[in-house]
Structure 1
Amino acid sequence: MKKRITLIIAAVLLLCGLVGCETWDRLMKDTSSSVNGLKRTAVVYDQNGNVIKTYKGKFDVEINEYGNKVKFDIDGKRVMINNAVVIVEED
């Protein structure tokens, strides 16, 4: 029983320590983004730096492990961008 109480106290202290740090803030932002989406602007550029298209709205962005494919849903439509430069900023 003492071990259980000690573990609970340690977990609470660890959680309290994380509340004020950037890692915790990023975790909360990532969770909010994946559940609700965030208001963002995504600008798609070609290989010469010319703007192809700009997307604005509330969406979550998914990037593949190689970084050459970006996927998101906006206004009920799926957008998939391959082999282009995409800069996404939170509004």
Structure 2
Amino acid sequence: MNKSFLFFILGLSLVLGGCSQKFQRGVKDFQSKWVGLDRKVTVFSATGEPVRTYEGRIDIEPTEYGNKIKFAHDGNMVLIYNMGVVIEEVAE
């Protein structure tokens, strides 16, 4: 095989690999927006101790300010202001 063919195959695999990642992110964004994802949300105090943990199918709504987290949990709307929050997606 010549070098140009090898570069073509390498480039094609990189392009398709990148498209696959974008597609997977798009599917995950759609699922998050319309269904919610299995997540664990931990809220921390100013000193770093965990205050409260929420688990389950959680839909997080983006906000324009960085000091507010808004999400739905078990049919209730939860708003958290000025707290440290860690949001983890739970593996299915």
TM-score interval for Structure 1 and Structure 2 normalised by the shorter chain: 0.7 to 0.9
User: What is the aligned partner in structure 1 of residue 87 from structure 2?
Assistant: 88
How far the C-alpha of 1:19 sits from its partner, in A, is: 8.4
Q: Is 2:65 the counterpart of 1:70?
A: no
Q: Which runs of 4+ in 1 moved over 3 A?
A: 17-20
Unaligned runs of 5+ in 1: 1-16
Residues 8-47 of structure 1: CA deviation (Å, up to 9, x unaligned) = xxxxxxxxx5884212211110001111101100000012
Unaligned runs of 5+ in 2: 1-15
Distance 2:24 2:46 in 1: 34
TM-score, normalised via structure 2 length: 0.73
Distance 2:28 2:18 in 1: 13
User: What is the aligned partner in structure 2 of residue 5 from structure 1?
Assistant: none
Where 1:60 maps in the other structure, the secondary structure is strand
Matches within 5 A, 1:44-63: 44-63=43-62
Q: Which moved more, 1:45-54 or 1:61-70?
A: 61-70
Q: CA RMSD in A?
A: 1.8
Identity across matched positions, percent:
39
User: What is the aligned partner in structure 2 of residue 11 from structure 1?
Assistant: none
How far the C-alpha of 1:48 sits from its partner, in A, is: 1.2
User: What is the aligned partner in structure 2 of residue 30 from structure 1?
Assistant: 29
